[in-house]
Amino acid sequence: LPSDTEEQFATMLAENLNSYDVVIVTDFGHGLISDATVSLLNREARFLAVNCQTNSGNHGYNLITKYPRADYVCIDGNEARLACHDKYSGLEEILSNQLPNIIECDRMIVTQGKHGCLTLDHPGRLNHVPTFTSSIIDTVGAGDAFFALSAPIAALGAPMPIVGFMGNVAGAMKVGIVGHRTSVEKVPYIKFITALLK
């Protein structure tokens, strides 16, 4: 951002961050969030939830490592591997032993698409949560839905396997929607969970 725009953005954040219980940062790596903004978020957010995405426009340049700490991190397997510079180790090893040495965060999830997700809470409790659908129409936005629904639940202090479960429900619903025709809505979300628990 131009320096004057970045200053306006920082002022707006500084004036508002303390008013919210949870600050959800979806960092797409397009230049909005600078190092100074990250520092401000780290200082002022009561509960900082971060999803730092790798995509074709920023591959290798927008890693979770730009955030020295967070209260909840949710990234996919490829993003976790890039952050650790490790192409071959199992994601269990990366999540339980490598990522905690890079970012100060007690609650992390690595999503794995059709293979579900891995959750971690310290000290080193790793859990696998499976997916809840085999019917996939479109994967666009599934990770975003996962993060959007799981972050507030993580902020409430729910056990990480529950956070992963709730996120996977959102992801399972989103892969049944073409593009962004509709969102994951509350009533169908609750019905989906109820059906799973019967």
pTM here is 0.94
181 conformational bin, left if phi > 0, alpha if psi -120 to 50, beta if neither: alpha
Cβ atoms of residues 57 and 32 within 8 Å: no
Q: With pLDDT > 90 as the criterion, what percentage of the chain qualifies?
A: 93
Measure the CA–CA gap between 26 and 145, rounded to whole angstroms: 11
Task: State yes or no: pLDDT of 164 exceeds 80.
Answer: yes
Measure the CA–CA gap between 174 and 172, rounded to whole angstroms: 6
Q: Is residue 26 very low, low, confident or very high in pLDDT (cuts 50, 70, 90)?
A: very high
Q: pLDDT tens, 127-157?
A: 999 999 988 999 999 999 999 999 999 999 9
Cβ atoms of residues 25 and 42 within 8 Å: no
Helix boundaries (H) for the chain: 3-16, 35-44, 77-84, 91-93, 99-102, 142-155, 160-174, 186-197
Mean of the per-residue pLDDT values for the chain?
Answer: 95
DSSP class of 2 = -
Q: With pLDDT > 70 as the criterion, what percentage of the chain qualifies?
A: 100
69-97 mean pLDDT: 96
Q: Is residue 63 very low, low, confident or very high in pLDDT (cuts 50, 70, 90)?
A: very high
User: What residues contact residue 40 under an 8 Å CB cut-off, 6+ apart?
Assistant: 10, 13, 14, 17
Task: State yes or no: pLDDT of 83 exceeds 80.
Answer: yes
Q: Is residue 166 very low, low, confident or very high in pLDDT (cuts 50, 70, 90)?
A: very high
Q: pLDDT tens, 85-141?
A: 999 999 999 999 999 999 999 999 999 999 999 999 977 799 999 999 988 999 999
Task: State yes or no: pLDDT of 177 exceeds 90.
Answer: yes
